[in-house]
Amino acid sequence: MTNRLPAWMLRDLSLPRLRRYIRAAHGDARAAERLYWWNVEVSSALFGSLHCLELALRNALHTALARHYGRPDWWTVAPLNDRGQRLVNDARRSCGRRLRRITPDDLVAELSFGFWVSLLSHGSGYDRHFWVPVLHAAFPHYQGRRDRLYRELTSLVLLRNRVMHHEPVHHRHLAADHDTICRVLGYLSPELAEETRTMDRFPDVLAGRADVLSGARPPRF
């Protein structure tokens, strides 16, 4: 049923990408097309809350670590593991390709969501070096265990990367993902969580999935 997809769609979006949607739609090319566009729609609806979470997380962790080490370039003295040091060096090189002078703020913005979440891991003694003395305070409205928070954020790194790299997310438990985003935002800043909620169209997009897939309404993004 692949040949029922519009020729321009196969040409412009590529069969290898579309094949995953055809498979999910059990070979029904028309359903696959609708599923593809709904995936774009729901990904765009998740972008805003993921944006707020990523910025709030990195700013909270950076502020806490800069205060703890007494310098804005805390990564030069903090006990980062080899991977962490490599990510910092990669970020510095990336900044250096477009900036003549690199500030700590430039490097903070360049470091990935995955880097910031890794600081909450157990590996390389990060729980002892970072979480216990410093980073627990970056989540003033969280009273739970580090490992639970780390698991939640790790799942959101995977979601964020799929959204940003235009990959399928329709198969995920997106309602649970969205709840996790809102919950973790609340740990960092209830005010930001509430402001995000007032602009968030994800619930409506999720509720409209069946209408899009049935053809009752066109997807919008």
Instruction: Report the C-alpha gap between 15 and 37 in whole angstroms.
Output: 15
Task: Please indicate, yes or no, if residue 112 is contained in any of the structural domains.
Answer: yes
Task: Please indicate, yes or no, if residue 219 is contained in any of the structural domains.
Answer: no
**Better-predicted residue by pLDDT, 2 or 95:** 95
Give the chain's domain count.
Answer: 1
218: three-class secondary structure by DSSP? coil
Residue 203, domain extent: 2-214
Task: Please indicate, yes or no, if residue 221 is contained in any of the structural domains.
Answer: no
pLDDT of residue 4: 82
Task: Please indicate, yes or no, if residue 198 is contained in any of the structural domains.
Answer: yes
Task: Please indicate, yes or no, if residue 26 is contained in any of the structural domains.
Answer: yes
81, 147, 208 from 78: Cα distances, Å: 9, 21, 47
Task: Please indicate, yes or no, if residue 16 is contained in any of the structural domains.
Answer: yes
Task: Please indicate, yes or no, if residue 64 is contained in any of the structural domains.
Answer: yes
Task: Please indicate, yes or no, if residue 220 is contained in any of the structural domains.
Answer: no
What would the pLDDT profile of 156-197 be if each residue is shown by its tens digit?
999 999 999 999 999 999 999 999 999 999 999 999 999 999
Q: Phi and psi at residue 129, in whole multiples of 5°?
A: -75, -35
Output the CA torsion sign for 53, 167, 44, 11. positive
Residue located via tokens 């580090």: 146
Is the distance from CB of 109 to CB of 55 less than 8 angstroms? Answer: no
